[in-house]
Amino acid sequence: MTAPRRPGPAPALDLAALVADPQTRIIVCCGSGGVGKTTTSAALALAAAEAGRQVVVLTIDPARRLAQSLGLVELDNEPRVVETPGSPGELSAMMLDMKRTFDDVVSAHSTPERAEVIFANPFYQALSSSFAGTQEYMAMEKLGQLRASERWDLIIVDTPPSRSALDFLDAPNRMSRFLDGTMIRLLTAPARAGGRAGVRIVGAGFAIFTRIISKILGGQLLNDISAFVSALDTMFGGFRERATATYELLRQPGTSFVVVAAPEPDALREASYFVDRLSTEGMPLAGLVINRTHPPATTALSATRAEAAAEAVAEAGGKGAKLAAGALRVHAERMTLATREQRLADRFTSAHPEVKVRTVPAAAGDVHDLEGLRTMGEALLAAEDDTGTGTPRSRVLPLRPQAG
């Protein structure tokens, strides 16, 4: 039996260089839900301002306390400057309000009278506030607006809390396909073509189809959709064009994706899909952040040895034995956890040996204020080998465990 091939170490992700590089204009933080995308976006933005950049961070769903500490108490859908005393750059932050963004798009593309009709339409109200994909679509829309304003030299984009990281790339297209898709065209054919064209094409079957759909959805909703689509007629195609244009923005030089994952099988699998997708789309990946890792305070003592020592100490008894045995057991558990996390990271790296990695240790509590963001920013940006334990920052444990 041959031993499995040991993967080489992951290349180190240098976020300090990325953030300081004036060529970097957009950073998109992606990943599956709950891994730390919003926190990472905000921490990177603060670090960028402290490195002298004029930066804006577009957050999507900041936790309330984090939003408060960024001054985002009002949902005004526009960036606000965050006080960062002593920083040579400037940090602005905003929280995406998808309905307001959608309304602005409608206003910008129709007359005030038409806009009023659209706003009053119940289907529009549902679409703009809760349709799956609207948030992703509007995040891209907002990114396009921020970029066009030329007010910032770096835009950091958080992504919606979708289950799948891929939704950020897929949802806008899905939504524009839906909006000018076959289904809506069929449903609204009577309204759009005086009833004749649609009926002629699909014949009697269509009448039955419409009747069934009306039963399921309710006739009123169908009318709403029809009216909405007719009102939006001028914007049609516009939706798809806009989605395509922003999508292209993500492909331009100056855009970088940072994929965030937790040291967990699901999150890393998701990160893996996402990395593959970026590469097929020709979108530039900066690297992977493995967030909330648990590196041990020392790696000089292995889990097995710590476990054995705990037993020995406990057996020997005496003053302080209980405490010492307890500490040794805590260390053993931490080593086991770190070993598991490193193994998961290695599995990712053997599938994607070219992807640069940075690990960020879990903070003691939540990250909800500027101080917490600053600490996280340091963990994200610090030099690869600048650690107390000698473990490089691309890893949870050193490449070769020290004396066990």
Ligand X SMILES: Nc1ncnc2c1ncn2[C@@H]1O[C@H](COP(=O)(O)OP(=O)(O)O)[C@@H](O)[C@H]1O
Q: Which residue is nearest to Mg ion (CB)?
A: 38
198 touching ligand X, by CB under 6 A:
no
CB of 154 to ligand X, least distance (A): 19
How many Cα atoms are found within 13 Å in the side-chain-facing hemisphere of 126? Answer: 7
The CB-of-158 to Mg ion minimum distance in angstroms stands at: 6
CB of 323 to ligand X, least distance (A): 27
Using rule CB under 6 A, residue 267 touches ligand X: no
Select 366 or 385, whichever has its Cβ closest to Mg ion.
366
- 366 touches ligand X by CB under 6 A: yes
Residue among 22, 26, 18 nearest 148 (CA): 26
User: Residue 367 Cβ, how far from ligand X at the closest point, in Å?
Assistant: 4
C-beta separation of 239 from 180 below 8 A: yes
Least distance from ligand X to the Cβ atom of residue 67, Å: 11
- Closer CB to ligand X, residue 63 or residue 330? 63
Of the candidate residues 18, 26, 28, 36, the single one contacting ligand X (CB under 6 A): 36
Q: Between residues 59 and 391, which has the closer beta carbon with respect to Mg ion?
A: 59
Residue number, 35 or 105, with CB nearest to Mg ion: 35
Longest dimension (CA), the chain: 95
Q: Is 194 left (phi over 0), alpha (psi -120 to 50) or beta?
A: left
Instruction: Please state the closest distance from residue 393 (CB atom) to Mg ion, in A.
Output: 23
Instruction: Pull the structure tokens for residue 327.
Output: 């500490």
Residues 41-100 that bind Mg ion (CB under 5 A): 61
The reply to whether 161 sits near ligand X by the rule CB under 6 A is: yes
Q: What's the chain's length in residues?
A: 404
Please tell me the distance from the alpha carbon of residue 369 to that of residue 80, in angstroms, as a whole number. 16
Q: Interface with ligand X includes 393 (CB under 6 A)?
A: no
Which member of 108, 208, 363, 383 binds ligand X (CB under 6 A)?
363
* DSSP codes joined into one string, 322-375: HHHHHHHHHHHHHHHHHHHHHHHHHHHHHH-TT--EEEEEPPSS---SHHHHHH
Q: Annotate 9-64 with DSSP letters as a single string.
A: PPPBP-HHHHHH-TT--EEEEE-STTSSHHHHHHHHHHHHHHTT-EEEEEESS--H
Instruction: Name the residues that contact Mg ion, by CB under 5 A.
Output: 37-38, 61, 161
Instruction: Name the residues that contact ligand X, by CB under 6 A.
Output: 31, 33-39, 63, 161, 291-292, 360, 362-363, 366-368, 376
